[in-house]
Amino acid sequence: MRSLAPWKIAHSSLSASEFSSFGEHSTITALAVDLDQNALLIAAERRDGLNDSEAQVAIWRLSSEAGAPEEGIPSLVTSFSTPTQLAANPWSKGTAKAGYQASRDSEIVSLHVLPESHSLVVVTRAGDITTIALDEDTPSAEVVGSVDGGIMGAAWSPDDTLLVLVTGEDKLLLMTSTFDVLSEGPLHPKEFGEDAPINVGWGAKHTQFHGSLGKAAAKSSIPPTAVGASPDDDGHVRVSWRGDGAYFTVSVLEGATETESRPRRTLRVYSREAALQSTAEAVPGLEHTLSWRPSGNLIVATQRFGTVPAGENAQSDAGSGLGQGRDGRHDIVFFERNGLRHGEFTLREHVHAEKGKAVSELRRWGYRVREVGWSADSDVLSVWIEREDGDIVQLWTTGNYHWYLKQEVAAPAGQDGAPGRFTSVHWHPEESLRLILTTSSDIIQRTYAWDTFASPSQPPVDSGSVAVIDGTNILLTPFRSQNLPAYLQPAHCKRMPVPAHLSFAPSRDLLAVLWEHGAAQVFDLKTRLGPGRGKVMEPTLLWSGPLGPLGSRSHRQTMFAADTADEDIELSVLATEITSDAVDVVSLVDVLGGKEMTLVEVGLPSHGGRLISSRKVIWQAPDGKLYAVNAETKSASEVAHFPMPVEGTGELTSLYIGLSHSNKLHVSTDESARTLASNVNSFTVTPGFLIFTTTAHVAQFAPLPTLAAVLKTPDASLPEFETRRVERGSRIVTAVPSTMSLVLQMPRGNLETINPRPLVMEIVRQDIDSGNYGKAFTACRKHRVDLNAFVEHNREAFIARIPSFIEQVADVDYINLFLTSLGQGPLPSDLVARICDTMRQELERRDLTKYVNSILTAHVVKRPPDHEAGLALLLRLKESDPALVEDAVKYIIFLVDADKLFDTALGMYDFSLVLMVAQHAQKDPREYLPFLRELRALEQHYQRFRIDDHLRRYEKALNNLSLAGPDRFEEAMAYVEKHQLYDHALSIWRNTDKYESVLNIYGDWLFERRDFREAAFVFRQAHRPEKAMIAHEKALDWQELFELAVQQDVSAEGLKDVAYRDLVSKKRTSEAALVLLDYAKDVREAVIALVEGSHFSEARRIIVLHNRPELLQEIIHPGVLECRARIADDMSEMREQLRKQVNRIRELRVRKVEEPDAFYGVEDTDLHNVDVMTDISMAPTMFTRYTVAPSAVSKTSSKRSSRSKRKLERKVGSGRKGTVDEEEYLLNSVAKLVTRFNATQADSASLLPHLLQFTAEHRTEAASLQRELEEFASELRDAVEEIWAKIPGNEEGVEPLMPAPAADSWAARMEAHEKQKHINPVDKVVKPALGKPEWKLKLPDSRVAPETA
């Protein structure tokens, strides 16, 4: 649905003075593009009428750099003379075969710039190859070689490395860019080529399907003598390369000799090495034109059909030699690389010749096709047609296997009124839509842009119309009503060119048609928006007329004003004067009543701009600046700017949107501009969204208010827009907001209409706000939108309008659907219940009978569902309308699981309702009737208990069981224990005589759970002191225990037994002594308990308090000595451990320095090439060092489970001898030893005062203990200082970088541990601190003489 629209038109001319400096009778014949300098190189030839043996060639440079001083002004590069073909070969009949060329040919066969050497290569028909170094200050021509016999055709490969030449001696040469010959072969080989088809013996032609041609096609065959060339064939050889440079094709006229009267065209395909690949099938009427599509899938030529108009030797006995078909038919035909045909389309040229009579000898049909060519992106095919009244170039595009004629470019007429003729037509090799044409003295550069002519009308009158130019026809499609195009023939003249531009009015159903020469027409389309019979469009011509002198300007764009009145037509037309220094002009056209026209012209700052779709007249300059055109002041003022020039543009509420050629989407206001995305291929604007598609095959929907907010804060990050996946390569055609549709075109040309969720939700929200619930509900159902949107949009407003909603959505099924969606949606449960209740009340008020199913749905969809209320409604309607209840029961069974509904009815204790549900649910009577009979025979409360127990409503069942009578109490207690209903049971039997029994059961349950303290509290409430004492004893609550024990008159022996059994065994000796003193009155046992806990001071206080001095010698003296001996054993054990570990640390550190490889386990790479390993043994590796001791044999399997791997890792760092973690383990052990010694010092500090106060033996032991403590403390302090001392220069190295393994893997964890080995263990283990020696006593009788060294 895209069309080509003119964008930039540059017209340059070699003036008469410039030509005169070179000589008269000069004409431009060839053109080349200098990509490095962004310039054109033009070759002009001059021949002396008196001397046909030499031609003068001048090379001109035309800069295309914007803003350059010489832009648009040609400058002479150099000139040189070259021999003509006649001089090089006087016996030659010309490169064109006899009878096929009436005019003099150009001497230049190829003009090409080599970028590597930045030189211009000129290949002439005489056979000379001339180079011109463009970087020199005064470039000069140098002939680097000549080809005998002349050159008939030449073509450079796309990568500029190879040159194909066809010589006059019928040879095909392949040369390098330095003109070295790589290959030489015949031009007319007899073989087919390397890709010759192979006959496998099946698939005969008469067995194949021939479509509409029928079986006769199987028998038809074209005799070789009936295949001829067209009279329009110029006889020249054509060479064309494929876009990737892998193949080239040659079109040559064969058989035009004295021995053969019927010449014909033949196409051959060669590889890059000039090896023949295939020969095309014989095609009658095939002409000289040739072009290989850059994408590589098609080779283009032309073919004539029918008979040849009258002329000498036009036909022979074998026929005309043209294709079989309608007279005058002229096709563009396509070939594949293998030479087979691949489709065609027919040119739309009018044949001016009368039947059987030629118009002229050169153009027998009144026209002929000179050349064809492809744009750089393979999207546009140019066809150069030479008519009697002047040349034109047609631009064709394809979509969905149909070829559209998009534009026509006519050659400007000569100064004397002679028909205009082009001398060359070229596509720019990089700018895909830039076409360069030359006449004898002019250079015309035309740049096109892809444009979609879509209607910008807004809802509710948006028709979604899109117009497509197809020759003189305009295809109109109103996507709001249909997807099929309607035809519009805008002109009723005998012949009218292809329109240049189309435009729709934003507020009315109008279409403007603009022709480049200055004519315009306006149509009222009268589009039918809604459904109905008759035509969907009935276009009516409102106005037609010229916009000034026809042909004086190049008009390329038109736009409607935003506020066109009902009777007036306001247009803005963009045009450019046809001069080299012209600027753009905007013509503001106002047609009053369709008759009177006023015209205001406003000059613009530069040329090459475009009008953008806007409410005002906005012109975009080539540098991206936007100007507002003022008709009153006839001036243009800047209003905004884009960062770069853009092609597709749009404007809405002062927000300008543009898409650049580099696929960047820009948004601009009068204050700032920003780039939204850099991979956009199309966009459109709706009242609420900017919609664009990306090369990532995603359609994004950007809300316009969000864009405006983003532009106010340029530094803020872009928000995440809603997206939708689309088909690969999709482009937007238009959007129709009223139908919530977006029309996309696929790369192959077919259209797809989708309904994106953002567009749907926008219309749905608008309908909800306006109270149009019926339309909104229909849209949600059609597009599968969650019906919760009605509530989520505005909760309170919807609840207030529920009566209106039910009135518009009156269908029961629709209401049920809405309620079901509500219950399954994400709304809060309380809100769902509120809406359901409100709707249920409204439905009951309107018609209970009609909406009974909806009312049931309202009960069921609540969270949690209210099944009982629904069944209660059925009970209420059961007697009044049995038939209705039967249908309602079936419906509620459809909504709810039958078993769940059966249980709900059973829980209502209504057996009639249970039977009704069971019968309609088709349950087997054998499953439920025996159970119901059993229940009917029971007493009411016990019956309900059985029902509730069956339904697992245990608390309710216990309530009913408690009401069944005192004789059911034991069963109730068993039921409480079974289902652990203790709290509920306590609430039931509170303030009754059974309350203590319930407490007793509850206490037993707590005791079994080992909640002894809680159990004791419950037993005391239940007046069960024995059980409470046991619970206190288990909880070690000795105060509460002995409180109860005294209250229960427990004997002293019993109290003593409790103290020893529970307190002393738990090392709570001080509490045990207190119990023995307070309750058992046993001082001896109390002192013994205190001595066992090393509480000597308290023990001595008790002895003195109770006047028991004999216990001092009997218990305390030996107890103190026993404690001294225990400390001595601990000191000896710690000393032995310290010495062993310090020695081992020293050994490891020496080994680490002397044998680092052995210590860290570095692998010996020399062992990797030794093949002496067995399946049982394995070489030690660096990982072995982390797992097992060096002497151990590894028995690990090659396949370890995850559990075994983790178990293996836990062994790492376990401190086993021989592992690299041993030192760290030893340091940790020494640190723990320091902590242990600090505790021993504290015990010694409490022991020493007592040793010094007793006998001489005790004082001797005190002195010995102090000496041992001081010695070990000194030894331990020295060891700690030695171990944790850092040696300068002995820091660990840094591990080299290694590839990181996968995260959370065994290798990753082992690598982390590998890195840890290079960290000094001293840095990983905190240095321990020795406690302050509080045990030192300075009494005179306790001093110890210092030891001599």
Q: Residue 1256, Cβ neighbours under 10 Å: how many? A: 8
What mean pLDDT comes out for the span 342-357?
76
Average of pLDDT values for 550-565? 79
* More confidently predicted of 1213 and 173: 173
Q: According to the model, what pLDDT value does residue 95 have? A: 43
pLDDT at 1192: 39
**How many CB atoms are closer than 10 A to CB 787?**
21
Dist CA 1111 CA 1096 (whole Å): 12
The region, left, alpha or beta by phi > 0 then psi within -120 to 50, assigned to residue 595 is: alpha
Instruction: Return d(Cα 217, Cα 1127) in angstroms, integer.
Output: 119
Question: Are the C-beta atoms of 1090 and 1102 separated by less than 8 Å?
Answer: yes
pLDDT at site 1303: 52
What is each CA distance from 24 to 19, 464, 1057, in whole angstroms? 7, 57, 141
Rounded mean pLDDT, 475-501: 76
Angstrom distance (rounded) from CA 480 to CA 1347: 113
Size of the chain in residues: 1349
Report the DSSP pairing between strands 501-504 and 680-685.
Answer: unpaired
Query: Is 9's pLDDT higher than 70?
Result: yes
Question: What pLDDT is attached to residue 802?
Answer: 94
Percent residues over pLDDT 90 in the chain = 31
Q: Are 1254 and 1112 in contact (CB under 8 A)?
A: no
DSSP annotation string for 966-1011: GGGHHHHHHHHHHHT-HHHHHHHHTTSTTHHHHHHHHHHHHHHTT-
The least confident of 293-297, 604-608, 711-715, 1130-1134 is 711-715
User: Could you tell me which residues come within 8 angstroms of residue 748 by beta carbon, excluding any fewer than 6 positions away?
Assistant: 399, 400
Query: What pLDDT band is residue 1179 in, cutting at 50, 70 and 90?
Result: very low
Nearest 5°: the CA angle 404, 410, 412 is: 170
Going by pLDDT thresholds of 50, 70 and 90, the confidence category of residue 106 is confident
Pairing relationship of beta strands 424-427 and 402-410 according to DSSP bridges: unpaired
State how far the Cα of 1186 lies from the Cα of 1202, in Å rounded to an integer.
18
The set of long-range contacts for 1341-1344, using a CB threshold of 8 Å and a minimum separation of 24, is 1341/1252, 1341/1259, 1342/1248, 1342/1252, 1342/1259, 1342/1262, 1342/1263, 1342/1266, 1344/1263, 1344/1266, 1344/1267
Task: Report phi then psi at 55, rounded to 5.
Answer: -130, 145
3-state SS assignment for residue 217: helix
Range among 92-101, 282-291, 616-625, 704-713 rated most confident: 282-291
Contact indicator for 84, 125 with CB cutoff of 8 Å = yes
Given a cut of 60, whether residue 1200 has pLDDT beyond it is no
- Residue 872 pLDDT greater than 90, yes or no: no
Tokens of 1161: 């386990």
- Confidence category of residue 1203, pLDDT binned at 50, 70, 90: low
Residue with tokens 């003009």: 111
3-state secondary structure of 203: coil
CB 789 within 8 A of CB 780: yes
Reply yes or no on whether the pLDDT at 611 is more than 60.
yes
What Å distances lie between residue 393 and 203, 385, 411, 555, 1009, CA to CA? 43, 6, 8, 17, 99
pLDDT band at 767 (very low <50, low <70, confident <90, very high): very high
Radius of gyration of the chain (CA): 52
963 confidence band (pLDDT: 50, 70, 90): confident
Least confident of 733-747, 992-1006, 1009-1023, 1182-1196: 1182-1196
When mean pLDDT is compared over 116-130, 859-873, 972-986, 1208-1222, the highest value belongs to: 116-130
**How many angstroms separate the CA atoms of 865 and 874, rounded?**
16
**Predicted confidence band of residue 991 (pLDDT cuts 50, 70, 90):** confident
Highest mean pLDDT among 227-231, 502-506, 1272-1276: 502-506
Residue 101, pLDDT score: 43
Which amino acid does the sequence have at 963?
A: L
Phi, psi (deg, nearest 5) at residue 939: -65, 155
What rounded mean pLDDT belongs to the chain?
A: 81
- With a cut of 60, say whether residue 97 has pLDDT above it: no
pLDDT at 81 over 50: yes
147-202 tens-digit pLDDT: 988 999 999 999 999 999 999 899 999 999 999 999 999 999 999 999 888 776 66
Handedness of CA 1169, 1174, 1175, 1179 (dihedral sign): negative
φ/ψ of 391, rounded to 5, equals -85, 150
Return the pLDDT at 71.
61
Query: Do the strands 434-438 and 442-451 form a parallel or antiparallel pair, or are they unpaired?
Result: antiparallel
pLDDT at 261 over 70: no
Predicted local confidence at residue 1043, as pLDDT: 72
* Residue 597 clears pLDDT 90, i.e. is over it: no
Residue range 1033-1058: mean pLDDT, rounded: 71
1-10, 212-221, 415-424, 665-674: range with lowest mean pLDDT: 212-221
- Summarize the confidence of residues 1055-1082 as an average pLDDT: 70
Residue of 208 and 925 predicted with greater confidence = 925
For residue 179, give the amino acid letter: F
Cα separation, 1022 vs 1329, in Å, equals: 56
* CA distance linking residue 438 with residue 42, whole number of Å: 9
Out of 271-285, 302-316, 1055-1069, 1223-1237, give the one with best mean pLDDT: 271-285
864 upstream amide cis, omega within 30 of 0: yes
**pLDDT band with cut points at 50, 70 and 90 for residue 1291:** very low
Query: pTM value?
Result: 0.72
Q: How confident is the model at residue 103 (pLDDT cuts 50, 70, 90)?
A: very low
**What whole-number distance in Å separates Cα of residue 648 and Cα of residue 612?**
8
The 10s digit of each residue's pLDDT in 387-446 is 988 999 999 999 888 999 999 999 988 777 788 999 999 999 999 999 999 998 899 999
| Residue 925 to residue 914: CA distance in whole angstroms | 12
- Tell me if 147 sits within 8 A of 165, measured CB to CB: yes
**pLDDT classification of 1343: cutoffs 50, 70, 90:** very low
Sign of CA dihedral 1073, 1079, 1080, 1083: positive
Q: Is 1051 left (phi over 0), alpha (psi -120 to 50) or beta?
A: beta
Higher pLDDT, 294 or 1057: 294
* Between 10 and 1291, the higher pLDDT residue: 10
Tokens of 356: 């059987």
Picking from 399-403, 942-946, 1005-1009, 1070-1074, which range would have the lowest pLDDT averaged per residue? 1070-1074
Task: Answer whether 787's CB lies under 8 Å from 779's CB.
Answer: no
pLDDT band at 727 (very low <50, low <70, confident <90, very high): very high
Whether the pLDDT of residue 1280 is over 60: the answer is yes
Rounded average pLDDT over 1253-1259: 80
Q: Check residue 243 and give its pLDDT.
A: 93
- In tens, the pLDDT along 809-847 reads 989 999 999 999 998 889 999 999 999 999 999 999 998
Task: State phi, psi for 947 to the nearest 5 degrees.
Answer: -65, -45
Given a cut of 80, is residue 472 above it in pLDDT?
A: yes
SS3 of 1161, please? coil
DSSP string, 910-977: -HHHHHHHHHHTT--HHHHHHHHHHHHTS-HHHHHHHHHHHTT-HHHHHHHHHTT-GGGHHHHHHHHH
**What is the SS3 assignment for 568?**
strand
How far is residue 1309's CA from residue 1303's CA, in Å, rounded to a whole number? Answer: 8
Give 38-65 pLDDT, tens digit per residue: 999 999 998 776 667 788 899 999 987 6
Higher pLDDT, 429 or 1199: 429
Asked if residue 376 has pLDDT above 90, the reply is yes
360 Cα distance to chain centroid: 61
C-alpha dist (Å) from residue 574 to 8, 242, 598: 11, 38, 16
Q: How confident is the model at residue 1175, as a pLDDT?
A: 41
Report the pLDDT value the prediction gives residue 494, as an integer from 0 to 100: 44
